[in-house]
Amino acid sequence: MSGRLYIALLHYPVLDRQRRVITSAVTNADIHDIARAARTYGVRRSFIVTPIAEQADLVNAIIGHWTRGAGGVLNPSRREALEAVEVAGTLEDAVGAIARQESRPVMTVATGARLEGPSTSHGRMRDLLKAGESAHVLLFGTGWGLAGEVIERSHYRLEPLAGPGPYNHLSVRSAVAVTLDRLVGNRS
């Protein structure tokens, strides 16, 4: 079911605490944990989106260590997960790479803890993924979430994750894992 599902972790354009558009820093743990969750749930490819060349170089060095270096020899399952991670300078670059691989439309799906406006339920998105008519890329924001321009241009807004109380500030790594489980996890 998730054969046409992709992830893009955006470091730009995202928001800071004051809701200003910024470029956030790449973190090693995000790369590893999102790659492992993506592999577990059958995501075809994950993109780390950063326009900063030094950060892209860092991500490529980390990926290289685990796919072509000593890390991959010591931990083959980590290698397998990180082989499906790619760096993109912009969201448009990531969507373009997906479009070149797929023979169908690419639909962007904005996620976030505080998305406003109409949203698509996890159940409805699950049905769209099962239908397989389009490739879908889940957009996750770092910092304090995706910039408004990304949300506005997205084809879908996925309903926010929420627990039983008012606190709602998951790490992006946790949000990716929970979202993937809701969308493509086994259901009894």
Residue 137: CATH number of its domain: 3.40.1280.10
* pLDDT given for residue 36 in this prediction: 97
The pLDDT score that the predictor gives to residue 1 is 44
Domain tally, the chain: 1
Q: What is the pTM of this model?
A: 0.96
Give the pLDDT confidence score for residue 27 in this predicted structure.
96
Mean of all residue pLDDT scores within the chain: 95
What pLDDT is attached to residue 155?
Answer: 97
Question: In this model, does residue 63 exceed pLDDT 60?
Answer: yes
CB distance 109 to 139 below 8 Å: yes
* Residue ranges making up the domain that contains 13: 5-184
State the alpha helices, DSSP H only, in the chain.
Answer: 28-40, 53-67, 70-74, 76-82, 91-101, 122-131, 148-153, 172-184
Answer whether 159's CB lies under 8 Å from 132's CB.
no
Angle, helices 172-184 vs 28-40, to 10°: value is: 10
Query: CB atoms < 10 A from the CB of 178, how many?
Result: 16
At 110, give phi and psi (nearest 5°).
-75, 140
If you average pLDDT over residues 107-131, what whole number do you get?
95
More confident residue, 109 or 187: 109
